[in-house]
A = this chain, B = another copy of it.
């Protein structure tokens, strides 16, 4: 009746030992590759052969019970569905975990404290060897105050109680975006879409966004450039981008470039430009951030500063594996050049 009952039972260590004519102790030591055992080469060979013949695989529950390690991590994230970014983080984490022969428990909390506590408890109950707290919008993540004696890394998030975190290097990314326009010979007529210091003074957006903005503004200053227009909006979605860009492109600021805070805003900006008959990149250059999937679909392709999600996911796992150093681990944001910033014609 039980599905498990039909299949022949898995071979245990005892079976291997019996077949090899040795003790469980010996078999265990050999199979786990203990270093300073004095077991003979012949014993090694016999155990290996036996294990192979029986298709032996250790029972992780039993091993974990004894060793308190499970070869598994938990990936606890606020939201996995809503944003396509989650996938990159998860994928990178999965990949690194697989390399290290670990598995990943994935848990979603929706950012709700109660579910967060539940998720942590579930992970701890299963004795995970480490926990990754991931946030989709980099923010200071709430973590219920449980005494969790397990390594933790914050992924795309920060929390004072857990000093190890992995973040995109937004400051450098902001700088790179400005440099892209500079390199294209654009010296004036630059509009900023999605953020405006005057409109947002005192508003809290998120740690990484503010670094992105800071990176942009500091590099603008360094190059002695300034924005001819800034439009702020709260939701960085295409419809906002469309509205804002339309206003900006019409108002006759002589806009020659649009720096968009993310690709979805840029997506809206494309639609506005198309409607106004303004050509990208000949009349207006567009740069943005994230390297969202849509960035590649636009015509011309959108030049953007990528959020290195996969690499971040990988890093977070590796930090767990290596007992990573405290502090922020910044991952560079690659510049993805497509067609939306043309070289200037002099």
Interface locus among A143-151, A175-183, A193-201: A143-151
Q: What distance in Å separates the Cβ of A323 from its nearest Cβ neighbour in chain B?
A: 8
Copies of this chain in its oligomeric complex: 2
A237 — which chain B residues lie within 8 A by C-beta?
297
User: A interface vs B, CB < 8 Å?
Assistant: 3-8, 57-62, 64-65, 68, 70, 72, 75, 80-81, 84, 86-88, 90-91, 94-95, 98, 101, 103-108, 115, 118, 121-127, 147-151, 237-239, 242, 264, 267, 271, 274, 293-294, 297, 299, 310
A58 — which chain B residues lie within 8 A by C-beta?
125
A124 — which chain B residues lie within 8 A by C-beta?
57
A108 — which chain B residues lie within 8 A by C-beta?
91, 94-95, 98
- Quick check: A149 and B3 within 8 Å, CB to CB? yes
Q: What distance in Å separates the Cβ of A19 from its nearest Cβ neighbour in chain B?
A: 19
Question: Residue of B at shortest CB range from A86?
Answer: B87
A61 — which chain B residues lie within 8 A by C-beta?
60-62, 64-65, 70, 126-127
- Quick check: A299 and B242 within 8 Å, CB to CB? yes
- Per the bound structure, the CA–CA distance linking A125 and B63 in Å amounts to 11
- Quick check: A271 and B242 within 8 Å, CB to CB? no
- Quick check: A91 and B80 within 8 Å, CB to CB? yes
A95 — which chain B residues lie within 8 A by C-beta?
108
A101 — which chain B residues lie within 8 A by C-beta?
122
Q: What distance in Å separates the Cβ of A254 from its nearest Cβ neighbour in chain B?
A: 25
- Quick check: B103 and A104 within 8 Å, CB to CB? no
Question: Residue of B at shortest CB range from A122?
Answer: B103
Some 19 contacts from A to B, beta carbons below 8 A apart, are: A4-B149, A4-B150, A7-B147, A7-B148, A57-B124, A60-B61, A61-B62, A61-B70, A61-B127, A70-B126, A80-B90, A81-B310, A87-B87, A101-B122, A103-B122, A103-B126, A104-B107, A105-B105, A106-B106
